[in-house]
Structure formats: C-alpha cells, structure tokens
Amino acid sequence: MDFNNFNTLSKAQASSYETGLRAYMIGIFNKMFMALGLTGAIAFLLSTNTQFMNLMFRSTAFMILLLFGNLAIAALFAFRLHKMQVSTANNLFWAFATLTGVSFAPIFLAYTGSSIAMAFFSSAALFGGMSIVGYTTKKDLTSFATFLFIGLIVLMITSFINHFFLHNSVLSLAISAIMVFVFCGLTAYDVQNIKQFYNYAPSNEALSKLAIFGAFQLYLDFINLFQHLLRFIGDRKD
C-alpha cells in the first residue's frame, strides 16, 4: 500500500490509514505527557526532602552522575535503538524521565510555584500550537530544522562560555529567549518527522521502537522549552 501518495488510496484504505496514524500519534503524545507527569512528581517530592537536596547541592559527583546517566541514555537511543528490544527502549525512556525528575528537583526551591505553573502552561500552549503546525503542514521542514540545529549548537556553546567565564545575566536571558523559539521550531519538525515514521517502519516492532523514540524526542522538546521559558519569565525565590 502506497502511504506516501495518499491520493492513490481507496476510501477504505485512506480511512484505515488515518485511523492507524491517529492512534499512533495519540499513543506517542500520551507516553510523552505521562513521562512529564513522572518527572514533575519526582522533582516535587524530592524538593521536599531536605537531606536529599543537601546531597544534590554538596555533591558534585552526584550531579555529574545524573548528567552522564541521561547523556548515556540519549546516546543509546541515538545509536542503538535499532538493535534493542522494545522493552529495553521503553525502560530507558522511563529511566530518562526519572533521572530528569531528580535533576529538576532544585527548580522548586529556586522559583516560585506560580512562575513554575505559568512556565509549564505557557510551554504546553506553545508546544501544542507547534505540534499542530508540524502535523498539518504540507511543507517539508527539514531545511528549517537544519538551520535550527546549527543555531542550537551555537547557543549551547555560547551558554557554556557565558556560564563558566562571562557570567552575564543579560546574555543568559537572551539565550533562553532565543532557545524558546528554537525549540518551538524543533517541536514542529519533530512532529512532522515522527508522523513520517508511521509510513516507513518496516515492521510492527520497528514502529513500536520508533514510537518510543518519538515520545523521547517530544519529551526533550517540551522540557527544554519549559526550562528556558522558566529562566526567562520565572520569578526566583528570595
């Protein structure tokens, strides 16, 4: 069946295709939002544990372990997804959401609850809008995404330099503001790309792994959008 040329499908085939695609995309978004819920719950609960927070603030090794743990999972998704079992990919996804929740715990101590809520709902609105754009647009966003990836690399390098050498608060805010636009664009691209996975997956097992990877990509888009939006508009506690 030629899913790439929708006009060649019969009405029955087109209806079946749309139903399958819709279920596939809804499953991905559901998994992503469940992971966000897990991350938020872990972050909030740990932020109320004084002993644990003291460990985080005093132990550089612990923070480095968290960072490399998430980097290792991201690398496995990027380079070993095609060789791993669906259950392994699923476990890695939840492990990533859990570790991110641990690393996000200090947010609840640094920012007011109202500004965290505002950043979250603003991120949800932006994410939802750009997801609709990515799902419905007929324009290929690949070239646009390439530009965004280059910009993201430049911003990450600039942020690193500013954090360790310049310590410029105005530059930090500017970087976060630009990052919000970058991840809005990447959300639209990722949704469009994930939608294409449904057409090209060679088997149901491959499609299941690609769905997990798609949820992982959208999860990253959302938490980065939230994180930079919070830095830009969030009110810090005294």
What is the pLDDT, as a whole number, of residue 5?
54
Give the C-alpha separation, 235 to 57, whole Å: 21
What is the pLDDT, as a whole number, of residue 1?
43
Structural domain spans, the chain? 6-233
| 179 contact partners, CB below 8 Å, separation of at least 6 | 152, 155, 224, 228
- Of the candidates 198, 201, 191, 200, the residue with the CA atom closest to the CA atom of residue 136: 191
Give the C-alpha separation, 64 to 184, whole Å: 28
What is the pLDDT, as a whole number, of residue 161?
93
CB-based contacts of 145-154 (< 8 A; 24+ apart in sequence): 145/185, 145/186, 145/189, 145/193, 148/182, 148/185, 148/186, 148/189, 149/186, 151/178, 151/182, 152/179, 152/182, 152/186
Question: What are the 10-residue block averages of pLDDT along the chain, 238 residues in total?
Answer: 53 80 95 97 96 90 90 94 95 97 95 95 97 95 92 92 87 93 96 92 90 97 96 86
What is the pLDDT, as a whole number, of residue 8?
57
What is the pLDDT, as a whole number, of residue 199?
86
Grouping H, G, I as helix, E, B as strand and the rest as coil, residue 111 is strand
